[in-house]
Chains A and B, each alone.
Chain A
Amino acid sequence: MSNAIGIIANPVSARDIRRVIANATALQITDRANIVLRVLSCVKACGVDHVYMMPENGGIRQHVRRGIDRAENQGLKHFPQLEYLDYKISGTVEDTFKGARKMLELGVAAIVVLGGDGTHRAVVTSCGDVPIAGISTGTNNAFPEHREPTITGLAVGLAVTGKVPADVAFLPNKKIVVRVNDQEEIALVDVAVVTERYIGARALWRTETFRELFVTFADPEVIGMSAIAGLLEPVTRLDGHGLHVRLAPEDEAAIMLDTPIAPGYMRGIGIRDFQPMQPGARYRPEISDGSIALDGERELSFSAKDDVTIELVPDAFRTVNVSACMQYAARHGLMRMTKT
């Protein structure tokens, strides 16, 4: 099997209204390109010689090209061969779907994803059984773990070259499947049911519209909708269940929870109750009209005439276990060099 990997870097993550309402990060395009270069040099150091990359017109490509050209001018050989997938760029999430699908067809051993939760969700929608490794360049970033991309690149390189065995290198993950009639979408972290019927600016920040929340895992160290669940009842990524939280106006709430629903954006959330979300069970929203937000962004609207179900699916896709890879590398001396 080829140890080629794919990289999908979203140039338009971290661009929404939360820059204004919550002082959220606005990671610059040049920073994203530098992350790609760091990942490239690390996977090359582990023995990966070929990398496929999603084409985009947001500027990352030009800066990456410049970085590689400069290294070549200096006679440095620390980047693998980089090949851009060839298809028409739409500037929308379709590019990500298409990129992940083509990387699956090309048989890549892993896909490194630069983006927020939405970008990771789009990749998982199309990448089949190819493991992904997430790097946070979005706003809330509940799904990708926060760490220096150098380490993510090293772990991916060690995993796909077989230096770290697969049973150590990769982890199974849960997802939530949302069905609206015949349409099916997924979420990696959270599904929120809100009363607004329009998609609009996509982000969620008006807490009074929140009604229900379903999460695959609940981590008190993340922000966004999943923070609500995390601060109520932590559930790990490896637990067999998720969490279902019913929200309520303050006068009807059993608990008021101070929650960072966006970066630095603390809001009181009324909680009616919460219980484990069982895999395989099909939940239906309690309101008849509204929108479904997937991983923090409104994506689907529904009305009383629609049949909407929400289901937790275990063992749905794989991620590179960066922490385990690096621990294994240290304990087995994988990074030790021969003296020259």
Chain B
Amino acid sequence: MNAAKKSTPGGGIFPLDKPDLLVAYRTMRRIREFEERLHGEFAKGDIPGFVHLYAGEEAAGTGIMMHLKDNDRIASTHRGHGHCIAKGVDTKGMMAEIYGKATGLCKGKGGSMHIADLSKGMMGANGILGAGAPLACGAALAAKFRGDGGVAISFVGDGASNQGTFLESLNLAAIWNLPAIFVVENNGYAESTSRDYAVAVDSYVDRAAGFGLPGVTVDGLDFFAVYEAAGEIIKRAREGGGPALLECKMVRMYGHFEGDQQTYRAPGELDDIRDNKDCIKMFSERVIEAGVVSRAELEAIDREMTAEIDAALAFAKSSPSPTLADLSTDVYVAY
């Protein structure tokens, strides 16, 4: 994806025409397939390090990234696979990176939490919570100096939104009127700690207002709600209107990390998420009901995505690991 998608508001049934609706579905399915496969593979013990899955949150990343071009930058989080895919990063290179293979996007030295692809404007997943926001400010400042209409987006979870780095970045973006957008992906839990306990401010819109920038809350499970709101916010930033905060209320389908027993959830919570809060299912039902897309067309995409992730996995597993000599390359100090 990751090409600027022109919306066609006005007279249309949806804000996107059919080809773009299919692009959106393909992206969300690609993320879901990628994550669910990792869920199964991680349990086998072949994947080094941690993985944090984006399954359930696809509508947010996709609805936002549909508005971006390659020269727009994003700073992701520890839960970065979905952002990567929505930004157009290659799934083979991602999978190989997660497996720690030499063919990975970062030559197997980063792993899940440090996947980056600057050619796609993906500045990196980030293992340090809240560390993406200052990076986005830097990228936004660069875009402002270049005057090319570029924007930078920082993703942050509800937990990391309490980090000083994030709050300082809101301030910096406001005073410099940066084309920076702060997306709070509020899935209700900071690891296992409820947002209701851990976030003192009661509304992210209040928090944004405290720094002098507008905030908006949307249903992050509704692709169209995110797409519309993000479109207006990004357009405003491109035109010099300055930074804004977008809170997407969402759910995650798996634990904080793979292996998390999720004892902090209420009984039945995960079943409710699967049955009633699946953003991809909601999207599918709406476009099919409207008669714009057929179920068969979506199922064809499902099969296509299964094959793509099959290929990515096979590529990752068959790729060579980095050698010992690779330890001293791509570092700032010469050995």
Contacts and interface: CB of A to CB of B under 8 A. Distances in A.
A28 B14 contact: no
A198 B15 contact: yes
Interface in A292-316: 301, 303
Given A200-B222, A200-B227, A208-B10, A29 B203 contact: yes
Contact of A208 (B11, B206, B209, B233): B11
Contact of A19 (B205, B225, B249, B286): B205
Interface residues of A, number: 36
A59 B233 CA distance: 26
Interface stretch (A10-18, A67-75, A104-112): A10-18
Given A16-B216, A17-B228, A58 B13 contact: no
A301 B236 CA distance: 28
B322 interface: no
Contacts of A62: 202
A91 B222 CA distance: 15
B315 interface: no
Task: Give the interface centre of A28, A197, A198 by most chain B CB atoms within 10 Å.
Answer: A198
B45 interface: no
Task: Give the interface centre of A62, A91, A199, A200 by most chain B CB atoms within 10 Å.
Answer: A200
Contacts of A21: 232, 236
A303 B217 CA distance: 29
A303 to B, nearest CB: 7
Range for the number of chain B residues in contact with chain A: 20 to 34
B9 interface: yes
B291 A28 contact: no
Interface in A189-216: 195-202, 206, 208-209
Interface in A152-203: 195-202
B229 interface: yes
Contact of A198 (B14, B236, B244): B14
A85 interface: no
Interface string B7-30: 001111111000000000000000
Given A19-B205, A197-B13, 20 more contacts: A11-B202, A12-B217, A14-B205, A15-B215, A16-B217, A17-B232, A17-B233, A20-B214, A26-B208, A26-B209, A58-B202, A60-B202, A195-B13, A196-B9, A196-B12, A196-B14, A197-B290, A198-B13, A200-B224, A208-B11
- 5 smallest A-B Cβ distances: which pairs? A59-B202, A197-B13, A200-B224, A29-B202, A201-B228
25 contacts: A11-B202, A14-B205, A15-B215, A16-B218, A17-B229, A17-B232, A19-B214, A20-B229, A20-B232, A20-B244, A26-B209, A28-B206, A28-B209, A62-B202, A195-B11, A196-B15, A198-B14, A199-B222, A199-B224, A200-B228, A201-B229, A206-B9, A206-B10, A209-B11, A290-B13
